[in-house]
């Protein structure tokens, strides 16, 4: 087995809002969040939320997607490493879903920007269930 292997993913939520007139200029902002839940059998679920919206009128134009990915991982890896590797596996699917949704809605493709998760702080919260 490789260090991390994606077994499946699914889009759990997709929202698209376009209440602008044709030709309106949009000043994009974005938000990205990612969480991983671990089980006892070297399987984890990553949940990625990505949003693109108009900075001045977020209620008039925006797209958001929530994806869940199921991963197997090498138990010798640190959770921070698993977090980064699973994000890198799942994020391209989020970019594709957002681009496809925007094109199918009749607007130019909205491309989520590249995201360097390795340069971000990763906060670790352990929860006993």
* pLDDT > 70 fraction of the chain, expressed in percent and rounded: 91
Residue 75: count other Cβ atoms within 10 Å of its Cβ.
8
pLDDT score of 123: 60
CATH number of 4-109: 3.10.420.10
Sequence spans of domains, the chain: 4-109
Render pLDDT for 5-20 as a digit per residue (tens, 0 to 9): 999 999 999 999 999 8
Residues 65-86: pLDDT tens digits?
Answer: 999 999 999 999 999 899 999 9
Distance, in Å, from the CA atom of 106 to the CA atom of 25, rounded to the nearest integer, reads 15
DSSP 83: H
Tokens in use for 5? Answer: 């292997």
In this predicted structure, what is the pLDDT of residue 129?
43
């Amino acid at each position: 087995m490789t260090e991390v292997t994606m077994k499946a993913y699914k889009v759990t939520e997709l929202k698209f809002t376009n209440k602008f007139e044709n030709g309106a200029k949009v000043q994009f902002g974005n938000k990205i969040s990612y969480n991983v839940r671990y089980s006892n059998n070297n399987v984890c679920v990553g949940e990625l939320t990505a949003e693109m919206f108009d900075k001045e009128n977020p209620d008039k134009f925006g797209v958001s997607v929530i994806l869940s990915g199921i991963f197997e991982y090498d138990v010798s890896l640190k959770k921070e490493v698993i977090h980064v590797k699973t994000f890198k596996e799942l994020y391209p699917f989020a970019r594709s879903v957002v681009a496809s949704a925007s094109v199918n809605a009749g607007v130019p493709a909205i491309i989520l920007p590249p995201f360097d998760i390795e340069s971000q702080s990763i906060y670790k919260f352990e929860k006993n269930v």
